[in-house]
């Protein structure tokens, strides 16, 4: 819809309460329907109470054609309409309050619906490019429909024969013109808010008249020279009836076609693509899972083996177990959703899984305090992990003076597990990125690179990531919760062990390492014991320190105070009311935010206490956020 008409209709909706007596502008002398040969004469009437009310204004008059194009009056003179938007001044201080808008005789070929608009606008302003505040009156609106047919029963007067000279001898009457045949075939194809009409040309037709009946019973028509017409702006679900006739060069309308009926309807859209597709590999099989998709009645599971042919199988559930696979081969999977009418969605993200025989049991059970590094498939070693002993501790604001979300203090028992000796480094994370050759899906970004004006120390693009010089052994930052979990899922797939983020209880238990003070060494931050604001280190308040730059806590963990905030598995929950007492994830108040612990190099010492809790959106990546992983170990 043109902006001018939209603006007028918007103002019209604001002024519908005005009566004809109080409206400043209105059209007079207009009938709703005119036939060929009838004369149209109607005026624009001003009913101003005080002209000073408007100060200086411009008068805008426009007509919307059946094609929905706009024509405008030219300045000052009421001459034929112009397609160029213009205003003409109104002499408001005079007594001339009536203007002739239109005066002409209806001719064949102009059939259709016409709408006239008039409005006063602040002098020098344009209702097309300026805001609604430029309007200075109501909107006068008048609609009419022109027919391509003469007035029923109309006869034209015949001029009297001259008396001199004598009439010529009679001649044979001209043959009567035969009506053109009906257009055939005549078809109507319904679409979204529109109907497309088409017909075969009729020999001898100079134009065609398209007639239609609307759902409310009213009728309309339009003269065309083409053999097709797209009727737009219709009501979906409503029924429209059409018929058409050819018009000869003399204007004689031919026989009408048979009526056709059509009902526009909204276009059906395919379902959304499945999200969060996961693939868990096992011995000779892969288990796929994904959330249900609204509007889907089935799914197509597709897979490909090492660049081979694509294969697929239908499924009606949101899980599929692919069995009989060959171990140690990479299988790539993606899923599409299918509607009841067979429309398929765009494909999900692809996931790769490698079935493997179960690994042999470890040769010996590691003791608490021992460290280990698992071997990756390419022969490299994973992050160094430390076995954390099982135990019971008091969790929360033991010292007092903390925040409400650190309460109540409660006792928690934690099972034996392994935790990263250091925060995951830039070097370790870049090795992961260059192996998977991805940087995360658009809706769940993993991290930002140096090229994006962040404080990340990772440079490059997909499949070719590099480390900023001197930062390989610094903890990786600018990593989202999604990026942390993606890295640990990759470690699980590489090693056959379950790697994950720590629960909030596991993190505080490991950070305290058997102590109940604010920091594992005492209640004061001291000097050069950690990397946080005012802690006296060379990195304090500036940037990350290389991992292992400070003393380890009694469990053998480094940098549990400051350096970077570390992601936990738990969603944010406002306090410890009803929190688990066995170290599990607390799902009491699931939100889009995830827990962060430990503080960072830019935080005050109070924000680096063992009991202090932080939060952040799962997709945020910031210069002061990182993570360390956990792994399940044999008891």
Strands 140-150 and 33-36 come out as parallel
Q: Encode pLDDT of 344-390 as tens digits.
A: 999 999 999 999 998 876 556 788 889 999 999 999 999 999 999 99
> Judging by beta carbons within 10 Å of its beta carbon (0-12, 13-18, 19+), is residue 203 exposed, middle or buried?
exposed
Label residue 167 by pLDDT band (50, 70, 90): low
pLDDT at 72: 73
Pairwise CA distance, residues 476 & 625, whole Å = 8
Higher pLDDT, 152 or 275: 275
pLDDT at 432: 95
pLDDT of 80 > 70? The answer is: no
Question: What would the two tokens of residue 567 be?
Answer: 């992601």
pLDDT at 154: 53
Run of H or E residues at 6 = helix 3-14
Label residue 43 by pLDDT band (50, 70, 90): confident
Classify 422 in phi/psi space as left (phi over 0), alpha (psi -120 to 50) or beta: beta
Question: What would the two tokens of residue 163 be?
Answer: 């008396």
**What are the residue boundaries of the structural domains of the chain, listed by start?**
3-150, 186-262, 278-353, 375-631
Question: Taking all residues of the chain, what is their mean pLDDT, rounded to a whole number?
Answer: 84
Label residue 439 by pLDDT band (50, 70, 90): confident
* Average pLDDT over every residue of 476-483: 94
Residues 114 and 144 sit within 8 Å (Cβ to Cβ): yes
Label residue 460 by pLDDT band (50, 70, 90): confident
**587 — phi, psi (to 5°)?**
-105, 25
pLDDT at 62: 82
Label residue 481 by pLDDT band (50, 70, 90): very high
Label residue 341 by pLDDT band (50, 70, 90): confident
Pairwise CA distance, residues 191 & 232, whole Å = 9
Which residue's structure tokens are 């035969």? 178
User: Which residues face 253 on adjacent strands?
Assistant: 247
Question: What would the two tokens of residue 414 be?
Answer: 């934690």
Which residue's structure tokens are 């034929």? 80
Residues near 233 by beta carbon (within 8 Å), at least 6 away in sequence: 68, 193, 194
For the chain, percent of residues with pLDDT exceeding 90: 57
| Class of 186-262 in CATH | mainly beta
Residues 180 and 205 sit within 8 Å (Cβ to Cβ): yes
pLDDT of 538 > 60? The answer is: yes
pLDDT of 422 > 50? The answer is: yes
Between CA 276 and CA 284, with CA 280 as vertex, the angle to 5 degrees is 145
pLDDT at 8: 53
Same fold: 3-150 with 278-353:
yes
State CA 59 to chain mean position distance.
Answer: 41
- DSSP per residue, 405-430: GG-S-EEEEE--EEEESSPPBHHHHH
Instruction: Taking each helix axis as running N to C, give the angle between helix 426-436 and helix 481-495, from 0 to 180 degrees, rounded to the nearest 10.
Output: 70
Dihedral sign computed on CA atoms, order 457, 460, 462, 465? negative
Q: Is the peptide bond before 408 cis (omega within 30 degrees of 0)?
A: yes
Pick the CATH number of 278-353 from 2.60.40.10, 3.10.20.30, 3.20.20.140, 1.10.260.40: 2.60.40.10
Taking CB atoms within 8 Å and a gap of at least 24, the contacts of 546-552 are 546/473, 546/474, 547/422, 547/423, 547/425, 547/473, 547/474, 547/475, 548/422, 551/521, 552/421
Closest by Cα among 375, 294, 378 to 337:
294
pLDDT at 91: 42
pLDDT at 116: 83
Taking CB atoms within 8 Å and a gap of at least 24, the contacts of 446-451 are 446/479, 446/480, 446/482, 446/483, 446/486, 446/621, 447/476, 447/478, 447/479, 447/480, 447/483, 447/621, 448/478, 448/621
pLDDT of 478 > 80? The answer is: yes
Provide the 10 A C-beta neighbour count for residue 336. Answer: 21
pLDDT of 78 > 60? The answer is: no
Dihedral sign computed on CA atoms, order 116, 122, 127, 132? negative
Question: What would the two tokens of residue 260 be?
Answer: 């056709």
* Average pLDDT over every residue of 96-121: 77
| Assigned CATH topology for domain 3-150 | Immunoglobulin-like (2.60.40)
State CA 54 to chain mean position distance.
Answer: 44
**488 — phi, psi (to 5°)?**
-70, -35
pLDDT at 60: 77
Pairwise CA distance, residues 524 & 541, whole Å = 18
pLDDT at 410: 96
pLDDT at 146: 82
Pairwise CA distance, residues 595 & 579, whole Å = 14
Q: Encode pLDDT of 584-626 as tens digits.
A: 998 866 667 999 999 999 999 999 999 999 999 988 888 899 9
Pairwise CA distance, residues 237 & 9, whole Å = 25
pLDDT at 298: 95
Residues near 266 by beta carbon (within 8 Å), at least 6 away in sequence: 192, 193, 236
Question: What would the two tokens of residue 335 be?
Answer: 């899923």
> Judging by beta carbons within 10 Å of its beta carbon (0-12, 13-18, 19+), is residue 275 exposed, middle or buried?
middle
Q: Encode pLDDT of 402-420 as tens digits.
A: 999 999 999 999 999 999 9
Provide the 10 A C-beta neighbour count for residue 494. Answer: 19
pLDDT at 588: 61
Pairwise CA distance, residues 152 & 244, whole Å = 19
Pairwise CA distance, residues 121 & 112, whole Å = 29
Q: What predicted TM-score, i.e. pTM, was given to this entire model?
A: 0.46
* Average pLDDT over every residue of 429-438: 92
Pick the CATH number of 375-631 from 3.90.1580.10, 3.40.50.720, 3.40.109.10, 2.20.25.90: 3.90.1580.10
Closest by Cα among 89, 96, 82 to 121:
89
Minimum mean pLDDT range among 45-59, 204-218, 477-491, 597-611: 45-59
Q: Encode pLDDT of 310-333 as tens digits.
A: 999 999 999 999 999 999 999 999
């Amino acid at each position: 819809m043109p902006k001018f008409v939209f603006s007028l209709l918007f103002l019209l909706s604001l002024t519908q309460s005005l009566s004809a007596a109080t409206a400043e502008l209105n059209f007079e002398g207009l009938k709703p329907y005119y036939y060929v040969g009838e004369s149209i004469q109607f005026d624009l009437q001003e009913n101003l109470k005080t002209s000073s009310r408007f100060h200086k204004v411009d008068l805008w008059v426009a007509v919307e054609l059946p094609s929905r194009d706009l024509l405008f009056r030219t300045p000052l003179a009421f001459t034929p309409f112009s397609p160029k938007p213009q205003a003409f001044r109104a002499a408001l201080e005079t007594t001339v309050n009536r203007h002739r808008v239109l005066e002409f005789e209806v001719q064949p070929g102009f059939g259709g619906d016409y709408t006239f608009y008039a409005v006063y606008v602040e002098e020098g302003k344009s209702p097309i490019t300026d805001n609604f505040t430029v309007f200075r009156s109501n909107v006068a609106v008048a609609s009419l429909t022109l027919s391509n047919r003469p007035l029923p029963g109309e006869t034209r007067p015949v001029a009297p024969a001259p008396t001199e000279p004598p009439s010529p001898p009679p001649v044979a009457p001209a043959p009567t013109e035969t009506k053109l045949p009906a257009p055939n075939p005549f078809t109507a194809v319904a679409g979204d808010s529109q109907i497309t009409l088409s017909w075969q040309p009729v020999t001898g037709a100079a134009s065609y008249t398209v007639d239609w009946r609307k759902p409310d019973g009213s009728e309309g028509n339009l003269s065309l020279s083409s053999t097709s017409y797209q009727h737009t702006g219709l009501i979906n679900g409503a029924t429209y009836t059409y018929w058409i006739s050819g018009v000869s060069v003399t204007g004689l309308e031919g026989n009408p076609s048979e009526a056709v009926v059509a009902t526009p309807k909204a276009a059906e859209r395919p379902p959304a693509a499945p999200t969060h597709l996961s693939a868990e590999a096992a011995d000779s099989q892969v288990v796929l899972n994904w959330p249900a998709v609204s509007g889907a009645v089935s799914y197509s599971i597709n897979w490909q083996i090492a660049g081979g042919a694509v294969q697929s199988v239908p499924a009606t559930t949101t899980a599929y177990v692919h069995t009989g696979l060959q171990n140690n081969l990479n299988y790539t999977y993606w899923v599409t959703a299918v509607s009841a009418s067979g429309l398929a969605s765009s494909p999900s993200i692809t996931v790769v899984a490698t079935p493997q025989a179960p690994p042999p049991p470890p040769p010996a059970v590691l003791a608490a305090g021992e460290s280990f590094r698992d071997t990756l498939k390419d022969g490299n070693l994973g992050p160094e992990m430390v076995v954390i002993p099982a135990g019971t501790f008091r969790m929360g604001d033991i010292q007092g003076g903390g925040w409400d979300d650190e309460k109540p203090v409660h006792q928690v028992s934690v099972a034996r597990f392994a935790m990263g000796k250091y925060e995951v480094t830039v070097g370790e994370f870049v090795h992961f990125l260059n192996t998977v050759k991805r940087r995360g899906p658009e809706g769940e970004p993993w991290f930002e690179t140096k090229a994006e004006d962040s404080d990340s120390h990772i440079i490059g693009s997909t499949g070719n990531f590099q480390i900023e010089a001197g930062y390989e052994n610094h903890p990786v930052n600018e990593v989202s919760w999604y990026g942390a979990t993606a890295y640990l899922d990759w470690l699980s797939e590489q090693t056959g062990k379950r790697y994950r983020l720590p629960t909030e209880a596991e993190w505080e238990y490991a950070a305290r390492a058997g102590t109940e003070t604010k920091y594992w060494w005492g209640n004061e931050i001291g000097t050069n014991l950690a990397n946080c604001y005012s802690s006296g280190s060379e990195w304090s308040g500036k940037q990350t320190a290389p991992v292992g730059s400070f003393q380890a806590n009694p469990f053998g963990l480094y940098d549990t105070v400051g350096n970077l905030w570390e992601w936990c598995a738990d969603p944010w929950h406002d306090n410890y009311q009803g929190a688990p007492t066995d170290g599990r994830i607390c799902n009491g108040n699931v939100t889009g935010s995830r827990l962060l612990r430990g503080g960072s190099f830019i935080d005050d010492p109070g924000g680096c206490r063992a009991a202090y809790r932080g939060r952040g959106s799962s997709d945020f990546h910031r210069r002061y956020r990182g993570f360390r992983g956990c792994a399940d170990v044999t008891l």
